[in-house]
């Protein structure tokens, strides 16, 4: 309720009677939009108390407003501001004609590439294919309940929370560094790690700490626009690297290094986003050589390390003998579950100190509840158990979806069976009516979150299979198959008559 006692003042020295003063001020509140159409006024008794006047004064005032059609009585509910009032003051936050932002800085020109589906469009019966998230049903989310439901919650949080550790709970940094050392053969202590917020925070911190305006940044030409957006926001000049099924082309990088002073290279060697390509061992070795020789910084984004299906994972560059100018970032979000929006940021101690300070400016402290949960899951072995269990499940789902794709859509698409990660990169030939295809599937209640348009015109879907049941996969494939066949019937020549690569290599 509005604080009417502060909004309405009654001056007893004035010749105007109190009820009229109140009426005038209430009408002014309605006119200026502070009292909005459809809002109920306080009851006469309550209003009289708030304004310290006799109740009769309020009744008189409300009667006056009823007469002027500003308010109406609703049976058993009270007095309501009329809903069809004309001519109210314009919203104060709407720009005026004299108001122009164009003349101001235009730093942020980046648009997200992936279409953000409007959340109001989706019905409960629809199926949304994500771009590679874990199955919430498999994740140890139940632990969240236990953490929140604990008896000693209050005292524990009172002890922990007010301290707002900027770089994350010390115990979590310890547990995470041990986890990374054990699984990725890193060699770090708590001085070389900090916890970040989920998603992009690690990349944002790295870019803003290392880059000055005009610095050159190299990254794969197939990188998603969010990464390029972060570097452009930091004022960097971007150099795009050719890349193929072995990852970024290190020869191209070497060539660029002859004429350019590259300050930073951004790379996702294990499972590139969005193409899911794993960088070959040969290229990795070459990259390490170039790093040491040319002394540029590398930001290595950990993606898909924990889930691999063909042989073991390949150790990150961060575990090799690099030149010390490397930042290794990742998040628990795509390993554990979506709400685990806590990331890690591994770097030399001096970089950690600066990243801590910058993160503190952006967001004083992290999600300490989730940090506590993660700490518990890592230290009691739950994380490793979760990874082992999920890996088996996801490998099965990966094989199933590949078999379905081959059988039903083999003629329209190209894909490689993923070596790691939680999604398949499905390419469509340039002549395929991709936009119409998406229109048809959307109309049938099938949404894709990972629609990719590459710089070379290639259209693809990053199809997250890990969170889907076999039944949901079948439904999705059914809809896709029908849509594609329908389009084919309309125009025969969309058919791409070649066997998918995945079918051969599988």
351-370: which residues touch a copy of itself (CB under 8 A)? Answer: 351, 354, 357-358, 360-365, 367-369
- Rounded least distance, CB 341 to a copy of itself, Å: 6
Within 228-247, the residues that bind a copy of itself by CB under 8 A are: 229-230, 233
Binding mask 402-421 for a copy of itself (x = CB under 8 A): --------------------
Among 347, 402, 420, 466, binds a copy of itself (CB under 8 A): 347
The residue written with tokens 């604990």 in the block is 150
Residue closer to a copy of itself, measured from CB, 269 or 464: 464
Residue closer to a copy of itself, measured from CB, 250 or 368: 368
Among 137, 396, 430, 499, binds a copy of itself (CB under 8 A): 137
Stretch that binds a copy of itself, among 55-63, 79-87, 318-326, 393-401 (CB under 8 A): 318-326
Question: Which residues lie below 8 Å from residue 104, measured CB to CB, with a gap of 6+?
Answer: none
Within 435-454, the residues that bind a copy of itself by CB under 8 A are: 449
Q: Does 163 bind a copy of itself (CB under 8 A)?
A: yes
Stretch that binds a copy of itself, among 69-77, 90-98, 399-407, 479-487 (CB under 8 A): 90-98
Q: Does 166 bind a copy of itself (CB under 8 A)?
A: yes
SS3 state at 437: helix
Q: How far are the Cα atoms of 128, 137, 264, 394, 413 from residue 467, in angstroms, in the given order?
A: 10, 8, 34, 9, 22
How crowded is the C-beta side of 293, counted as CA atoms within 13 Å? 10
Q: Does 2 bind a copy of itself (CB under 8 A)?
A: yes
SS3 state at 294: helix
Question: Which residues lie below 8 Å from residue 14, measured CB to CB, with a gap of 6+?
Answer: 21
Among 63, 72, 182, 435, binds a copy of itself (CB under 8 A): 182
- Rounded least distance, CB 410 to a copy of itself, Å: 26
- Rounded least distance, CB 82 to a copy of itself, Å: 17
Report the alpha-carbon distance of residue 193 to residue 174 in Å, rounded.
9
Q: Does 325 bind a copy of itself (CB under 8 A)?
A: yes
Residue closer to a copy of itself, measured from CB, 375 or 487: 375
Residue closer to a copy of itself, measured from CB, 23 or 467: 467
- Rounded least distance, CB 424 to a copy of itself, Å: 16
Report the alpha-carbon distance of residue 197 to residue 481 in Å, rounded.
39
SS3 state at 189: coil
Q: Does 33 bind a copy of itself (CB under 8 A)?
A: yes
- Rounded least distance, CB 402 to a copy of itself, Å: 21
Closest CA to 200 of 223, 169, 184: 223
Q: Does 80 bind a copy of itself (CB under 8 A)?
A: no
Closest CA to 257 of 283, 285, 293: 293
What ranges in 32-169 are assigned the alpha helix state H? 44-51, 55-67, 142-149, 153-160
Q: Does 307 bind a copy of itself (CB under 8 A)?
A: no
Q: Does 392 bind a copy of itself (CB under 8 A)?
A: no
Q: Does 119 bind a copy of itself (CB under 8 A)?
A: yes
Q: Does 198 bind a copy of itself (CB under 8 A)?
A: yes
Among 311, 456, 492, 497, binds a copy of itself (CB under 8 A): 311
Q: How far are the Cα atoms of 196, 358, 366, 374 from residue 156, in angstroms, in the given order?
A: 22, 27, 16, 16
Q: Does 466 bind a copy of itself (CB under 8 A)?
A: no
Q: Does 5 bind a copy of itself (CB under 8 A)?
A: yes
Closest CA to 61 of 82, 76, 78, 47: 47
Report the alpha-carbon distance of residue 499 to residue 44 in Å, rounded.
78
**Helix, strand and coil in the chain, % to nearest 5:** 40, 15, 40
- Rounded least distance, CB 227 to a copy of itself, Å: 9
Residue closer to a copy of itself, measured from CB, 261 or 492: 261
Q: Does 185 bind a copy of itself (CB under 8 A)?
A: yes
Among 53, 81, 188, 483, binds a copy of itself (CB under 8 A): 188
Q: Does 37 bind a copy of itself (CB under 8 A)?
A: no
Side-by-side strand order, sheet with 451-453: 413-415, 423-428, 459-464, 451-453
3-state secondary structure 335-404: CCCCCCCEEEEECCHHHHHHHHHHHHHHCCCCCHHHHHHHHHHHHCCHHHHHHHHHHHHHHHHHHHHHHH
The residue written with tokens 């199955």 in the block is 135
**Other beta carbons less than 10 A from residue 476's beta carbon:** 22
- Rounded least distance, CB 451 to a copy of itself, Å: 12
- Rounded least distance, CB 175 to a copy of itself, Å: 14
DSSP 8-state class, residue 408: I
Q: Does 32 bind a copy of itself (CB under 8 A)?
A: yes
DSSP 8-state class, residue 499: -
Task: Please answer whether residues 195 and 167 qualify as being in contact, where contact means their C-beta atoms are separated by less than 8 angstroms.
Answer: yes
Give the binding-site size for a copy of itself (rule: CB under 8 A): 126
- Rounded least distance, CB 348 to a copy of itself, Å: 5
Stretch that binds a copy of itself, among 57-65, 195-203, 417-425, 435-443 (CB under 8 A): 195-203
Parallel, antiparallel or unpaired: strands 216-220 and 262-267? parallel
Strand partners, 79: 73
Q: Does 118 bind a copy of itself (CB under 8 A)?
A: yes
Among 16, 83, 145, 310, binds a copy of itself (CB under 8 A): 145
């Amino acid at each position: 309720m509005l604080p009417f006692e502060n909004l309405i003042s009654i001056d007893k020295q004035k010749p105007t009677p109190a009820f009229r003063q109140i009426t005038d001020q209430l009408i002014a509140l309605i006119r200026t939009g502070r009292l909005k159409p459809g809002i109920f006024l306080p009851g006469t008794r309550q209003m009289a108390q708030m304004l310290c006047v006799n109740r009769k004064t309020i009744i008189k005032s409300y009667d006056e407003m009823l007469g002027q059609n500003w308010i109406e009585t609703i049976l058993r509910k009270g007095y309501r501001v009329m809903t069809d009032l004309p001519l109210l003051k314009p919203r104060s936050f709407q720009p005026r004609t004299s108001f122009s932002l164009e003349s101001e800085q235009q730093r942020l020109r980046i648009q997200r590439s992936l279409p953000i589906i409007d959340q109001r469009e989706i019905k409960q019966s629809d199926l949304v294919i994500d771009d590679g998230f874990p199955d919430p049903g498999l994740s140890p989310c139940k632990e969240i309940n236990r953490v929140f439901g604990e008896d000693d919650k209050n005292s524990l949080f009172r002890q922990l929370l007010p301290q707002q550790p900027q770089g994350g709970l010390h115990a979590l940094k310890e547990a995470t560094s041990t986890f990374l050392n054990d699984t990725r053969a890193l060699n770090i202590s708590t001085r070389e790690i900090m916890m970040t917020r989920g998603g992009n925070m690690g990349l944002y911190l790295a870019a803003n700490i290392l880059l000055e305006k005009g610095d050159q940044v190299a990254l794969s030409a197939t990188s998603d626009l969010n990464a390029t957006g972060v570097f452009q926001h930091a004022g960097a000049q971007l150099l795009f690297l050719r890349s193929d099924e072995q990852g970024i082309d290190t020869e191209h990088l070497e060539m660029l290094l002859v004429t350019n002073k590259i300050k930073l290279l951004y790379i996702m060697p294990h499972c590139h986003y969005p193409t899911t390509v794993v960088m070959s061992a040969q290229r990795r070795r070459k990259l390490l050589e170039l790093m040491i020789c040319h002394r540029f910084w590398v930001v290595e984004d950990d993606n898909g390390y924990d889930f691999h299906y063909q042989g073991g994972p390949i150790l990150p560059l961060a575990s090799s003998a690099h030149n010390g100018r490397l930042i290794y970032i990742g998040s628990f979000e795509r390993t554990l579950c979506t709400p685990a929006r806590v990331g890690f940021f591994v770097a030399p101690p001096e970089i950690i100190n600066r990243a801590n300070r910058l993160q503190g400016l952006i967001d004083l402290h992290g999600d300490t509840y989730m940090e506590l949960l993660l700490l518990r899951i890592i230290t009691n072995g739950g994380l490793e158990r979760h990874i082992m269990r999920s890996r088996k499940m996801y490998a099965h789902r990966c094989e199933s979806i590949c078999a379905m794709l081959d059988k039903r859509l083999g003629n329209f698409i190209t894909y490689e069976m993923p070596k790691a990660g939680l999604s398949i990169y499905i390419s469509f030939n340039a002549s395929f009516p991709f936009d119409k295809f998406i229109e048809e599937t959307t109309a049938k209640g099938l949404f894709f979150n990972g629609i990719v348009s590459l710089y070379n015109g290639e259209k693809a879907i990053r199809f997250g299979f890990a969170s889907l049941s076999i039944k949901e996969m079948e439904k999705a494939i059914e809809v896709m198959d029908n849509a594609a066949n329908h389009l084919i019937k309309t125009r025969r020549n969309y058919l791409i008559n070649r066997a998918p690569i995945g079918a051969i290599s599988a």
